[in-house]
Structure 1
Amino acid sequence: MMKISVVIPVYNIEDYLSECLDSIVNQSLEDIEIICVNDGSTDGSLDILKEYESKDSRVKIISQENKGIGNARNTALEYAKGEYVYFIDGDDTLELDALERLYDLNIEKNADFIIFKISNFNGETGERINDEYYTMPYLKDRVGEDAFNYDDVRDMALDLCVCSPGNIFKREFIEEIRFPEGLLFEDNVFFTHAIFKADRILFYDEFLYNRRQRPDSTSTHLTVKSLDTIEITNLLLDLCSQFNHPKHKGALYYRIFHNIYNIFKQADPSQKEEFFERIKYEYLKNKDKWESDDFFANNLKDEYRHMFNCAIKSKNATRFEKCVDSFNKESKLQKVRNKIYEII
């Protein structure tokens, strides 16, 4: 069995792909396979992949119609034969000794998966960007170099950095874990499932992955696809039920209502009607499921219940916004009344 399967989804990244591939084919650990899923690229990405395939027998190309990064990664997992699996995005790079260091650490500590630090840089200027979300100093303070599991970090489990290229997984550990397909933020479900399931996780306090921040990235633009977070969070609610971790439901409903309304408020006025229609559709689709959940029925904040009701009852974006904001205005008025009563 080879040591590591490296998975690279590829979609229209001809400007960055060679740099990524160079960082993988030149790894100090040579016993790897490199599975490149050409996800319907229409630029020169496939030609670049074929060039590398002709020079390095470890490079394998799978071509398919465009189905998104979640599907591309799942496709690669069906072919992966390595003892461990590493996912990298095709516009980023990995330190040249990263896989060797991670493999050796895995062998020494027998981890289900390892989390390590990510270095972000501006794709236009090359400037490094400091971001504690990707370095997780709070996780280092909690666990140090010791193996841990969900019970050791339950209070921060849903606040850890979610970025698949910042992890390496034992392949047999993720045999039953897959990425949701056709949705943005697919990493959240895969990573949370792994956190809930794992017996032994390690935090490696080293920068091994270089993440390019691009102005044209899907993660930097606010579009109606940003509302995929509703369905993603629904899947996280399912995991909480599956693993009996109901304590996270409050934070997840916060994402479904509070965060979603913030996205709606920030949307361009020309897009608000489209955003509202998607929100209403998702809320109505999940109405029965949420209302049958004990937390939703008995512990949901009044503010979130109001947002939910406003969405399903309003006829358009304008009425939805006025309805939600009426609760906020009333809350402010009530706070003023309470202060007056305290003075009296």
Structure 2
Amino acid sequence: MKLSFVVPVYNAEKYLDNCIGSLYRQNLQENDFEIICVNDGSKDGSLEVLKRWQALHNNLVIINQENGGVSKARNAGICAASGQYIRFIDSDDYIADGVTYDAVNIAIDNKLDILYTSTLATNREDEYKPRFSECNRNTKILCGKDYFVNNNTPNGVWEFFISRDFIVRNNLKFEEDRICEDGMFMVSSLSLSQRVSKCNVDYYRYIQRPNSITTRKDLKHMQKTADDFAYAIEYINNVIISEKQANDNVEYINKLVQRRNSYFFYFQIRAIKACFSRNQIKSYLKKFRLDGCYPNSGLTKDYYFTHKLLSKLFQFEWLYLLICNGYKVIQKFEKRE
């Protein structure tokens, strides 16, 4: 079997028909791929939708588990997968019509560990037609570290096909119960991979929704998000330390530092919105200082000017603490109104 689509499902009843329907509108025979849907304790009608699709297709597998989060669902999908390659699909997203055959065969023919494709961020659920159909088979193959250095590598795991054998050999898993799990998985994967490439196929449709895990704004969620970013910073920093000890690719280390610094900026933004106490924030910053993560060089030129400016200002602890306190004062006044 060529391909396993792994689809974590949690309360996605409204989106599943569009998502799964797009997977069946590919130019693949059904015995060449499988769809593994991991129902992560959904409380709506998601399971009924999955069963309806399963009744129509022999290659759709349903795994039911108690709610454990997207990482646990993806890990369960990896364990169940039998395809040569795995493609992770979020249940509220979809893929363009007829774009899989060339891409997955390029990965197979070139024995790639990872193959990147193109993604369109959209708020529409009907952009099925590919914007372009070029798929260059003269693939430039790099090791993962060189690919990371020479490309603007996104964090999302929906961006690429990944070899199941590569995952198993390297015991790659998603960090469970953590936001930023995609970025950590991506860093680990690229650090270990020897054959990475990209084909110019218009593949994925990413839809950002108001109540998604990345856009929720309640205080408890914001506090967990900040803590998860802190965990991801430490995770990437440990990779940097390992690379330095191995006296490895300097350009790769510098690119990792840039990625860590971007995580650090978004940690600081979320820590402001999380309304942590002054002592909590100082405790975070003290640990980052001891780990050599703070202060840092800030964001690169690729970011918005306002983000770069804030990142520079946040390097001054006294000023950052002042900003945190000011935000809490403003929140108190808004609640009174």
TM-score strictly above 0.5:
yes
The count of residues paired between Structure 1 and Structure 2 equals: 293
Residues 1:167 and 2:156 are matched in the alignment: no
Q: Aligned pair in 2 of structure 1 residues 319, 212: CA closer, same or farther (>3 Å)?
A: closer
* Deviation of 1:112 (Å): 0.9
Structure 1, unaligned runs of 5 or more: 129-134, 323-344
* Deviation of 1:164 (Å): 1.3
Partner amino acid for 1:173? Answer: F
* Deviation of 1:306 (Å): 5.2
Q: Who is 1:231 aligned against?
A: 231
The secondary structure found in structure 1 opposite 2:13 is: coil
> What pairs up with 1:19-168 in 2 under 5 angstroms?
19-29=18-28, 30=30, 31-123=32-124, 145-153=139-147, 155=149, 159-168=152-161
* Deviation of 1:87 (Å): 0.7
Work out the CA distance in 2 between the residues paired with 1:40 and 1:221.
Answer: 20
Q: Aligned pair in 2 of structure 1 residues 81, 308: CA closer, same or farther (>3 Å)?
A: farther
The secondary structure found in structure 1 opposite 2:26 is: coil
Q: Any conservation in 2 of the 1:257–1:304 contact (CA below 8 Å)?
A: no
Query: Could you list the per-position Cα deviations for residues 40-84 of structure 1 after superposition, in whole angstroms to 9, with x for gaps in the alignment?
Result: 111110110111112211111111111111110001111111111
The secondary structure found in structure 1 opposite 2:14 is: coil
* Deviation of 1:154 (Å): 5.0
* Deviation of 1:8 (Å): 0.4
Q: Who is 1:307 aligned against?
A: 317
The secondary structure found in structure 2 opposite 1:119 is: strand
Q: Who is 1:260 aligned against?
A: 267
Q: Any conservation in 2 of the 1:224–1:278 contact (CA below 8 Å)?
A: no
Task: State which structure, 1 or 2, has the greater radius of gyration over its C-alpha atoms.
Answer: 1
Q: Who is 1:5 aligned against?
A: 4
Work out the CA distance in 2 between the residues paired with 1:166 and 1:246.
Answer: 22
Partner amino acid for 2:269? Answer: N
Work out the CA distance in 2 between the residues paired with 1:41 and 1:152.
Answer: 40
Work out the CA distance in 2 between the residues paired with 1:308 and 1:320.
Answer: 14
* Deviation of 1:9 (Å): 0.1
The secondary structure found in structure 2 opposite 1:213 is: coil
Partner amino acid for 1:190? Answer: F
* Deviation of 1:187 (Å): 0.6
Q: Aligned pair in 2 of structure 1 residues 102, 279: CA closer, same or farther (>3 Å)?
A: farther
Work out the CA distance in 2 between the residues paired with 1:199 and 1:28.
Answer: 29
* Deviation of 1:282 (Å): 4.8
The secondary structure found in structure 2 opposite 1:177 is: coil
Q: Any conservation in 2 of the 1:12–1:43 contact (CA below 8 Å)?
A: yes
Query: Could you list the per-position Cα deviations for residues 224-275 of structure 1 after superposition, in whole angstroms to 9, with x for gaps in the alignment?
Result: 233121111211222233444643464355345443323344x2xxx5247x
Work out the CA distance in 2 between the residues paired with 1:249 and 1:170.
Answer: 23
Query: Could you list the per-position Cα deviations for residues 149-208 of structure 1 after superposition, in whole angstroms to 9, with x for gaps in the alignment?
Result: 245345456x41122112001111111111111111211011111111111111111211
Work out the CA distance in 2 between the residues paired with 1:246 and 1:303.
Answer: 24
Higher helix share: 1
Q: Who is 2:301 aligned against?
A: none
Q: Who is 2:195 aligned against?
A: 200
Q: Aligned pair in 2 of structure 1 residues 277, 156: CA closer, same or farther (>3 Å)?
A: farther
* Deviation of 1:99 (Å): 2.5
Q: Any conservation in 2 of the 1:94–1:209 contact (CA below 8 Å)?
A: yes
The secondary structure found in structure 2 opposite 1:220 is: coil
The secondary structure found in structure 2 opposite 1:42 is: coil
The secondary structure found in structure 2 opposite 1:41 is: coil
The secondary structure found in structure 1 opposite 2:214 is: helix
Q: Who is 1:272 aligned against?
A: 275
Work out the CA distance in 2 between the residues paired with 1:27 and 1:153.
Answer: 28
Work out the CA distance in 1 between the residues paired with 2:201 and 2:230.
Answer: 33
The secondary structure found in structure 1 opposite 2:71 is: helix
Partner amino acid for 2:143? Answer: N
